[in-house]
Structure formats: C-alpha cells, structure tokens
Amino acid sequence: MAVTGLMVVDVRVFGQHDVWCFSMTFGAEESSPTVYTTRQIQAAWAVHAFTALGVIIGYEGLNSVIGGHARAAILWLVAALVLDGVDGPLARKLDVRNRIPTLDGNSLDLIIDYFTCTIVPVAFLYRFNFLPDNTVGPVGFTMLFVGALWMARTDQETDEGWFNGFPAEFNMIIPTLFLIGASPWIDLVVCVAFSVLTLSRVQFAHPVSVREHRNISLPSMLLWLGAMVTLAIAQRDVLAVRVVLIVAPMWTVAQVVHRFVTRPDRARPLWRRLI
C-alpha cells in the first residue's frame, strides 16, 4: 500500500503463468476529527445554557404581564433581547456547532425567540389593550401566525447579515408603542404594517452583523433600548426620553428604505422585491 497526497492507492499483483493483472483501488484519505478539550466542551455547553436562559427570562416577562405589571414585563423583554443579541456571536466565536454537534443551537434560539419576541409581546398587547376596540384579538392572532411562519423561513438572513422580512421582533414594537402613548389607531397601523412586513422580502439590518453604517446602527439600537429601560424604571413620563424613544427607531426605518432602493436586486420588479 502507498499513500500519494490525499489519495490512498492500494496495489495488488496477481500472477498466473505468463499473465499479470494489476488491481488498483483509490480512496480519499480521511482527515482526523478535531479533538476538543473538556474545558472547550464545557464552554460550549455553557453557551447553550446561556441561550436557554432566555426562556426563563421570557417566563418572568409573561408572569409580569399576567400580574398586570407592564413596566416590569418591559424590563424582562429588554433583558431577553440583550441575551439574544449576545449569545449568537458568542456561539460562533466558541465554535459551539462543532463542539456539540448533537444539539442544534439555531433551533434552540428560534424556539426561545418565538416565545420572547412574539408570544409574550402579544400577551402584553392583549393584557394592556391599547388598540381600538375589538381589534386586539385579530391583530394578536395575526402576529402569532406571521411570527411562526418567519421562524420557519429558510432565507431568514442574507450573507451580509440582513434579515429578509421583519424578524418578528414584536418585543421591540409593542413596548415602544405602550411607552410612547400614541393614538390607538396609530398603534393599530404600526402593528399591522410590521405584521405584513414579516412575510415580505423587505430587508432589515441586524445592528451587529451588518457592517454598513454599524457605527450608527448599534448606538441607535442601544439608545432605543436605553430609553425603554429608563421609562420603564421611571414609572412616569419623561418627555426627553420619550422623544429619544420616538427618534431612535427612525434610523432603522431610514436604513430599511435605503436598502430597498439600493440593494443588489433593485433592477427586479417592485413586487418581486416586496414578496
């Protein structure tokens, strides 16, 4: 047997009288699997445990909603959002997928996201109804429906980090509307618009993954979250903070519009870029 490069050559010679036959079998040489230390495996399990902690935080948020504690529920939702923003980059940095191949971190993340980003916010909307009469039920059902479909999309994110469709993060939308205290009809229009955008092909930027204008996107997101936390803790209306809560999301809207008119497939028909 001889090894040449990445090919294994098995040579057999058979002789019978004056006839010689050569049988050669080629097979790719198997690469040895990466061996991880116990500490590395433990670190990967710690990341999965950190991700799973999101369901506990979501439960506390739901419990606050049921108890009628709106501002406490908002704080729990913000905590879940921060955790969700940290665990992904951490998992990729520690190569968790390969260290523990028997547990799909992406599936775990989507299960928790649906609970904290859609179910709890819809419960919040139902409990502290600030929509026009007889609309909270249909709107809530719609959010649950489109949120479930988005979590099952196979094209959730582009290679550049843009989400295809609004990523069902109603845990940002519902608390913001509650804290701003806008007209019920404005709240209704916003909820319906984002529900429709969830199943569209309109792209939304991930504040960390998308490098374009990240120096603006990330601070804008932090300002948004900071304003939510401040108003939730203050237990009263602080006009300056409420203005920040209104202005900070405008960068996200501007980024979505800019992406829509400049994205690589802008030559395609309008309806193909929407649906």
Q: Among 96, 110, 102, 100, which Cα is nearest to 54's?
A: 110
Instruction: Please identify which residue in the block is written with the tokens 């395609």.
Output: 268
For residue 109, give both structure tokens.
């993340």
Q: What is the mean pLDDT of residues 59-71?
A: 96
Secondary-structure class of domain 38-274 per CATH: mainly alpha
Please give the pLDDT value at position 94.
85
Q: What per-residue confidence (pLDDT) applies to 273?
A: 63
Q: For the chain, which residues make up each domain, given as ranges? A: 1-31, 38-274
Half-sphere exposure of 169 (CA within 13 A, CB side): 19
Mean pLDDT of 110-121: 96
Q: In which residue are the tokens 């909307």 written? A: 125
Highest mean pLDDT out of 4-18, 63-77, 233-247:
63-77
Please report the sign of the dihedral spanned by the C-alpha atoms of residue 194, residue 198, residue 199, residue 204.
positive
Q: Is the pLDDT of residue 232 over 90?
A: yes
Q: Is the pLDDT of residue 168 over 50?
A: yes
Q: What percentage of residues in the chain have a pLDDT greater than 90?
A: 57
pLDDT band at 9 (very low <50, low <70, confident <90, very high): very low
Residue range 174-207, pLDDT digits in tens: 999 999 998 999 999 999 999 999 999 999 988 8
Does the structure show a pLDDT above 90 at 119?
A: yes
Residue 47 has pLDDT above 70, yes or no: yes
Both tokens of residue 194? Answer: 């984002």
Q: Does the pLDDT of residue 25 top 50, yes or no?
A: no
Q: How far apart are CA 116 and CA 59, in angstroms?
A: 8
Name the pLDDT band for 86 (thresholds 50, 70, 90): confident
Residue 243 has what pLDDT?
Answer: 92
Residues 6+ apart with CB under 8 A from 81: 116, 117, 169, 171, 172, 225
pLDDT > 60? residue 85:
yes
Q: Is the pTM of this model over 0.85?
A: no
Q: Which of 43, 161, 170 is nearest to 113 (CA)?
A: 170
